A and B are shown apart, each in its own frame.
Chain A
């Protein structure tokens, strides 16, 4: 398996624009996580899915953020409208329930100017 695949690797956008980050989890994994990493706040869990169903989205910072998982092999994280404070590295990870080892993608570095 190619591992967790995220796209794009880098994204630069202007404030107010819509941004969509994409993730393809490892085949067969039934959990998918979205994390945000910044110097100030470290690694924050935004939302996670189990069998394509959102289980906990309490980490989503505000209504500008939304995430979907239409099928077992694809998820998106959308920010609309984007703001400079959304600049961060966004990671997607997937895992099985047992063992609960998460495999991370290489991340998307988002810069909002």
Chain B
């Protein structure tokens, strides 16, 4: 079945540091890949997405590239800010496959210190 594995946190960085959060997936079809972010007390919201191999999703300085050969979708940001402190979720959807649902990783908590 489909699954998503992302690095466990928490991750603590200083402001302006480089961020990488690893995400790998298993899918039977050709999934779309997503990163969602959850700020304290709120629901998840879409950060970026990629729908096919080699696509790069980007938003708010965050980037992730859909790598079919390594089944990965790692999240990166060159210079984090305190306001980036949140929980980040990697996810996939495979509506064309046998499982037409949206599957999330367990989330990685990021804390950015000033």
Q: Give chain A's interface residues, CB within 8 Å of chain B.
A: 4, 31, 33, 35, 42-43, 45, 48, 50, 55-56, 91, 93, 95, 97-107
Residue of A nearest to B101 (CB): A48
Q: Is the CB of A101 within 8 A of B34?
A: yes
- Decide yes or no: A102 and B106 within 8 Å by CB, A43-B89, A91-B44, A107-B43 being known contacts: no
Give 11 A-B contacts (CB < 8 Å), ordered by A residue.
Answer: A42-B105, A43-B89, A43-B107, A45-B101, A45-B102, A48-B102, A50-B100, A56-B99, A99-B51, A101-B49, A104-B45
Assess whether A43 is in contact with B101, with CB atoms less than 8 Å apart.
Answer: no
- Residues of the B chain whose Cβ atoms lie less than 8 Å from the Cβ of A55: 100-101
A32 to chain B, nearest CB (A): 11
B60 to chain A, nearest CB (A): 16
Q: Would A106 and B107 count as touching, CB distance under 8 A?
A: no
A74 to B89: give the CA distance in the assembly, Å.
26
By DSSP majority rule, is chain B's interface helix, strand, loop, or mixed? strand
- List B residues at the A interface (Cβ < 8 Å): 32, 34, 36, 42-46, 49, 51, 89, 91, 93, 95, 99-107
Which residues of chain B have C-beta atoms less than 8 A from A93's C-beta? 43-44, 102
Q: How far is the CB of B8 from chain A (nearest CB, A)?
A: 10
Give A101's nearest chain B residue, CB to CB: B46
Cross-chain contact A100 with B43 (CB below 8 angstroms): no
Contact, CB under 8 Å: A106 / B102: no
**Do A91 and B101 contact each other (CB < 8 Å), given the known contacts A99-B49, A101-B34?**
no
Question: Are A102 and B102 also in contact (CB < 8 A) when A43-B89, A91-B44, A97-B95 are?
Answer: yes
Query: Given contacts A42-B106, A55-B100, A99-B32, are A104 and B43 in contact (CB under 8 A)?
Result: yes
* Cβ–Cβ contact A95 & B106, under 8 A: no
- Chain B residues contacting A97 (CB-CB under 8 Å) are 95, 100
Of chain B, the residue at the smallest CB distance from A41 is B106
Which listed residue, B44, B51, B99, B106, touches A104 by the CB 8 Å rule?
A: B44
Q: Which residues of B contact A100 (CB under 8 A)?
A: 32, 93, 95, 102
